[in-house]
Amino acid sequence: MQAEAAGRKPIRSLDDALDYCQTLGMRLSKQRRFILELLWQEKEHLSAREIYDRLNQQGKDIGHTSVYQNLEALSVQGVIECVERSDGRLYGNISDPHSHVNCLDTQQILDVHIELPEELLRQVEAQTGVRITNYSIDFYGYRSAQPAPDAQSQA
């Protein structure tokens, strides 16, 4: 299962996600589709609670337990992303390795696919003796322009 997951092509759309579930032999219940549709629609990192609330706002018939169980099954199989936060788990639509931009003012997490220069990866390998096969970076910053420290003291 692990080797299969490593060699598979990345999921880049809702259709890819549905196809991948079928390849895995996962049953595509109505509820499971609702969750995948929502994640690909919103393209955010959402808690199980938020996913439940949004689906219910859309009038989708899905129970609390079903949301939790389906999120668990989908993330274990690598169909969706699961981010562990100190205040709980968040789920996202992108499951292949990617980096995150964490907005400190809005608490949003934005997905980015970036490639580090080969030279930098070689440096990391030289420093650690570990052959790098994958990476994911957490960036932190503010969406709105923050006043520079000395501009603040002058005000």
Min CB(59)–Zn ion separation in Å = 27
The strand order across the sheet containing 138-141 reads 109-112, 99-103, 138-141
- With CB under 5 A as the contact rule, which of the stretches 21-29, 32-40, 90-98, 143-151 interacts with Zn ion? 90-98
Q: Which of 92, 105, 126, 148 binds Zn ion (CB under 5 A)?
A: 92
Indicate whether 42 belongs to the interface with Zn ion (CB under 5 A).
no
Q: Which is nearer to Zn ion, 128 or 134 (CB)?
A: 134
Residue nearer to Zn ion on the CB measure, 50 or 111: 111
Dihedral of CA atoms 109, 110, 115, 119 in degrees, nearest 10, equals: -40
Structure-token pair, residue 118: 């080969």
* 8 exposure class (CB count in 10 Å sphere: 0-12, 13-18, 19+): middle
> How many chain residues bind Zn ion (CB under 5 A)?
3
Interacting residue ranges for Zn ion, rule: CB under 5 A? 81, 92, 111
